[in-house]
Amino acid sequence: MALSFVDYLAYIMVGFKGLLFLVAGIFLVSGIDDLVVDVIYFTRSIYRALFVWKRHRRMTEQELLAVPEQPIAVMVPAWNESAIIFSMVNNTIATLNYSNFHVFIGTYPNDLDTQREVARLRELHDNIHCIVCRDPGPTSKADCLNWVYWGIKDFEKANGFEFPIFVMEDAEDIIHPLALKLMNYLIPRKNMVQLPVVPFEPAHWYQLTRAHYMDEFAENHHKNMVIREVFGRGIPCAGVGCGFSREALEILSSDNEQHMVFKLGSLTEDYEMGMRLKAVGVERAIFVKFPIRRTVPRKSRLTGKTRQVEKDELVSIRNVFPATMKAAVRQKSRWIAGIALQGWENLRWEGDFLTKYVLFKDRKALLTSQVNMLGYLVILFVLGYYLVVWLHPDAYRYPPLVEQGSLLWHIIQVTTIFLFLRLAVRMYCVYRFYDLKRALLSVVNFVWANFVNFFATNRALFLFYQYLVTGKWIKWDHTQHAPPSEEELSAFRRRIGDMLVERRLINFTQLEEAIAEQKRSGRLLGDILMQKGLVSEDELVQTLGMQLRITTREIDPYQTPLELLRLLPRELAVRYSVFPVELKENRLILAAAALPHRDELSAIEQAVAMPVELCLTAKSSLSFSIQRGYERLEQGESDRPKLGELLLEKNLVTPETLREALKRQRKSYARLGDILLDEGMITVHELNSAFDQQVQNPGERLGEFLVRQGFLTDQQLERATKLQKTRFRALGDILSEMGAVTQETVTALLHEINQRRRRA
C-alpha cells in the first residue's frame, strides 16, 4: 500500500522530534558549561570589587614608566605582507613608548616584495632586522617563527648581549604604546604574559562578518581568558600581544633535539604554547587587562558638538579582521583545525579533571557549530508546520512536537533561558570593550557568527582530513590584509601629553590640570600648556615631531623664493594651514603645524600637480609666514632696503643675532582666531564652524566673516585686532631689547629707509 503525503509527514515529524531531543540535549550541556564559567567569573568579579580592590591599590601608569627598560626582541612572521609591513612597523616604532627593543621580521626567499619593504624599514630604523627562512614559503607560521628565534640567537652572539623578553606579534598588529612597558614590568617575574586583542569596529553596522569578531574577542578576552587563568591549566597564547621570558623559550627549545620553540606543522602554534609550558612545569602565566584612564574627544550625535570625555583604554593589541564571509571562513578554519583538531591529536585528553575540562571547552565548537545549524533547521520546520496549520485550519492535525509538561518541554525552557543568558553575557562583555550601541548589535552578530563558524568548522574538518590522508602539513593559509586607515593607525599613537611628561618638560599633575582645562574649553592641549607657560612653542613642536616621526624646521617667509609661493595658491595655504619651503627632487616640501588629513593632502597634490612632503614648524611661524610670504608675492620684489639688511650692511649686528631676532619676531605673531580663544570671545566649536563655512568665501577676511555671521560684535573684533597688533613686536624693538643696537640707532636707520624709499 502506497504511503500518502500525510504518512510521510508523520514520519518526518517523528524524525524531527528525535532531532529536537538531540539538539536540545546538546544545548543543555553546552549551556550548563557556559553557566559554570559565568558564575565563576561574576562571583570572582564581585568578590574582588568588594574586598580585593579596597585593600590593594591598582598599579599606576607612573609606576609602569618608572621601571628600567630591559632589551626586548619582537618576533614578526611575514609571508606575502608587502602591502602592509612598511606602514604597520613604521607606525609601531612611532607609537611605542619604549626605546630598548629590536624587531626581527621573518621572511621567505621567494617573497622578495616583502623583503624589499623590510629593507626600506632598515634604512630608516637601526633596530629592524630581516630573517630569511631556509625553505620557500609558505611553510607554516611555526616554521617561520623558529627561524626568527634562531636568527635572534645569532644576533645575540654577534652583539654580546641577550634578550630577557621575547614578544610575538603579527605584521598587521597595531600595538598599544605601553604594551612593551607592561611586558617589561611583568617579565621575568611572569614567564608568559598575554594582552587582550581588541578588533577594530566596522564602519557600518551591517558589516556583520567583521563585527562578529568584535563580539567573540570581547567575550573571550574579557571573561573566558580570565577564567583560564583562574583554573591554572595553561593560558592559550593568542599569537599576538604575547610575551615570554627567556627561561620559558629556552625550556621549550631544549625539549627537542632540533631546538625548536614552535612545533612544526602546527596551524596554531601559539595556542599550544601555553599548554606546553604548563606541561613542562613552567608556571607563572598571566592574562593582563590593564586600563589607562584617557581623555578623548567625542562628537554628540544630537548637537554635533565635540566634547572631551574620560574612558578606560586597555593596553591591548588592535587588529583589522576580515570583512568578507570567504576570508573569515578561511581564517577561522585554520584556527579551528589547529586548536580543536591538531590540539586533540597533539595534547590528547591528558591531565587532571580541570585540564580535561578546559580542553573540552576548546573542542566543543566542533559539535556546537554543527548543532547550531540543526537548531535553525528545526526552527524553520516548526515555523513551517504552524504556518500550514494557520493557512489550512481544517487540515489533518498531528500531535504536537513538544507536549506541555514533558521532559523535552522542560529542557527547551531551560535552554531558552540559557540562550538569553548567553546573549546578556555577550552584550555585557561587548559593552565593556566597546559601547552600548555595539552591545545591542551583538544580538544580530550572534546569529551571523553561527553561520560563519559552521562553514569554518566544516572546512577545518576537510583540511584535517586531507592532512590525515596525505600526511602533509597544512600550509600557512595566509589571510590577506588591506592597508589600515589613518584612523586605525592612529588608534594608539603616543599622546603628546605623555611624551611631554616623559621628556620631563611637565609633570603628571600639570598634565592632569591641563587635560581638565581641555575638557572644559575644548582647546588643544599644547595651546593650553603654552598659555600656562609650562612649555615653549619650540619644545612643543619638537615633541610633536618625535610623536609623528616628522622633521621639524624653522621657516622664514623672506627667504622663500617667490616661485615656490606661486606653486601653492594662497587660498590653499590658508585653508589647509601649510606653507611651501622647498622643492626637492620634484616634491614640494610643505611646513605645517599639524598633520593635514589624507584627503587634504590629496587635494593639495592635485592642485600643485606633484607629490608633497610635510615637515613641522611652530604655529606662530606658520601663521606669520603665510601672512608675510604671500604679501611679498602680491607686492613683488622691492629694491627698498629692509631694516635687517641695512643692519648687516653697516655691520651693526651679526647674521646669527639677526636670525634670532627674526625668530622672536615670528613667535610674537598670533592668529586672530587664537586671540579670540585666549580672550574667551569665541568657543572652539564656533571657531571651527566658522572655518568650515569660510571655505565657501575664501576672499573674505576671517574677522569680517565672524562679524557678518554673528559670531562676534564689531567691538570685539576691534579689540582683538588691537591685541594682535600689540602682541606683534617690531624687529627694532627686539634687537634693542637684546642689546644688539640702541633704540636711537634703530630710529635713525628707519629714517634712512624712508628717505631711500622717497628717492626711489
Q: How many CB atoms lie within 10 A of CB 370?
A: 16
The CA-based angle 170-214-294, given to 5 degrees, is: 80
Specify the length of the chain in residues: 760
Q: What is the pLDDT of residue 579?
A: 94
E-strand stretches of 512-593:
578-584, 587-592
Quote the CA–CA distance of 416 and 423 in Å, as a whole number: 11
Q: How many CB atoms lie within 10 A of CB 628?
A: 16
Instruction: Name the residue among 481, 35, 435 with its Cα closest to residue 240.
Output: 481
| Residue at 272: amino acid letter | E
Q: By the 8 A CB rule, do 233 and 354 touch? A: yes
Instruction: Name the residue among 497, 110, 87, 93 with its Cα closest to residue 294.
Output: 497
Instruction: Name the residue among 65, 130, 75, 63 with its Cα closest to residue 101.
Output: 75
Encode pLDDT of 486-519 as tens digits: 565 565 666 788 778 877 888 878 888 888 888 7
Q: Looking at residues 465-483, what average pLDDT do you find?
A: 72
- Is residue 481 predicted with pLDDT exceeding 60? no
- Is residue 1 predicted with pLDDT exceeding 50? no
Q: Looking at residues 272-283, what average pLDDT do you find?
A: 78
Sequence-ordered list of residues with C-beta below 8 angstroms from that of 681, at least 6 positions apart, any chain:
712, 716, 720
Q: What is the pLDDT of residue 490?
A: 60
Quote the CA–CA distance of 216 and 222 in Å, as a whole number: 10
Q: What is the pLDDT of residue 240?
A: 92
Give the predicted TM-score (pTM) of the model. 0.70
Q: Which of 326-340, 628-642, 658-672 has the lowest mean pLDDT?
A: 628-642
Quote the CA–CA distance of 247 and 284 in Å, as a whole number: 12
Q: Looking at residues 698-712, what average pLDDT do you find?
A: 74
Grid coordinates given for 414: 531551560
Instruction: Name the residue among 708, 681, 574 with its Cα closest to residue 630.
Output: 574
Quote the CA–CA distance of 90 and 4 in Å, as a whole number: 72
Q: By the 8 A CB rule, do 448 and 212 touch? A: yes
Q: Looking at residues 426-434, what average pLDDT do you find?
A: 95
Our separate counts of H helices and E strands in the chain read 34, 15
Quote the CA–CA distance of 696 and 693 in Å, as a whole number: 6
Quote the CA–CA distance of 554 and 571 in Å, as a whole number: 22
Q: By the 8 A CB rule, do 167 and 75 touch? A: yes
Encode pLDDT of 118-132 as tens digits: 999 998 888 999 999
Q: Do the bridges between strand 306-314 and strand 291-299 make them parallel or antiparallel, or are there none, so unpaired?
A: antiparallel
Partners of 587 in the beta sheet?
584
Quote the CA–CA distance of 619 and 729 in Å, as a whole number: 16
Q: Looking at residues 250-274, what average pLDDT do you find?
A: 79
Quote the CA–CA distance of 105 and 90 in Å, as a whole number: 13
Q: What is the pLDDT of residue 161?
A: 92
Q: What is the pLDDT of residue 485?
A: 60
Q: By the 8 A CB rule, do 99 and 69 touch? A: yes
- Is residue 305 predicted with pLDDT exceeding 80? no
Based on the number of CB atoms within 10 Å of its own CB, is 725 exposed (0-12), middle (13-18) or buried (19 or more)?
Answer: exposed
447 confidence band (pLDDT: 50, 70, 90): very high
| Concatenated DSSP letters of 135-185 | SPSP--HHHHHHHHHHHHHHHHHHHT---SEEEE--TT-EE-TTHHHHHHH
- Is residue 207 predicted with pLDDT exceeding 90? yes
Most confident of 443-452, 527-536, 745-754: 443-452
Looking at per-residue pLDDT, the higher value among 573 and 3 belongs to 573
- Is residue 311 predicted with pLDDT exceeding 90? no
Quote the CA–CA distance of 66 and 61 in Å, as a whole number: 9
657 confidence band (pLDDT: 50, 70, 90): confident
Q: By the 8 A CB rule, do 500 and 510 touch? A: no
Q: By the 8 A CB rule, do 427 and 38 touch? A: no
| Residues of the chain above pLDDT 90, percent | 35
Q: Looking at residues 88-107, what average pLDDT do you find?
A: 91
- Residue environment code for 23-34, b if the CB has 16+ CB neighbours within 10 A, otherwise e: bbebbbebbebb
Q: Looking at residues 99-117, what average pLDDT do you find?
A: 94
Instruction: Name the residue among 211, 184, 195, 485 with its Cα closest to residue 325.
Output: 211
Main-chain phi, psi angles of 582, to 5 degrees: -165, 150
Q: What is the pLDDT of residue 574?
A: 82
Q: What residue ranges define each of the domains in the chain, with the CATH number in brackets?
A: 60-195+241-322 (3.90.550.10)
Quote the CA–CA distance of 642 and 556 in Å, as a whole number: 15
Q: By the 8 A CB rule, do 48 and 445 touch? A: no
- Residue 491 is given by DSSP the state G
Quote the CA–CA distance of 618 and 666 in Å, as a whole number: 9
Q: Does residue 465 sit in helix, strand or coil?
A: helix
101 confidence band (pLDDT: 50, 70, 90): very high
Based on the number of CB atoms within 10 Å of its own CB, is 469 exposed (0-12), middle (13-18) or buried (19 or more)?
Answer: exposed
Q: By the 8 A CB rule, do 664 and 672 touch? A: no
Quote the CA–CA distance of 374 and 22 in Å, as a whole number: 10
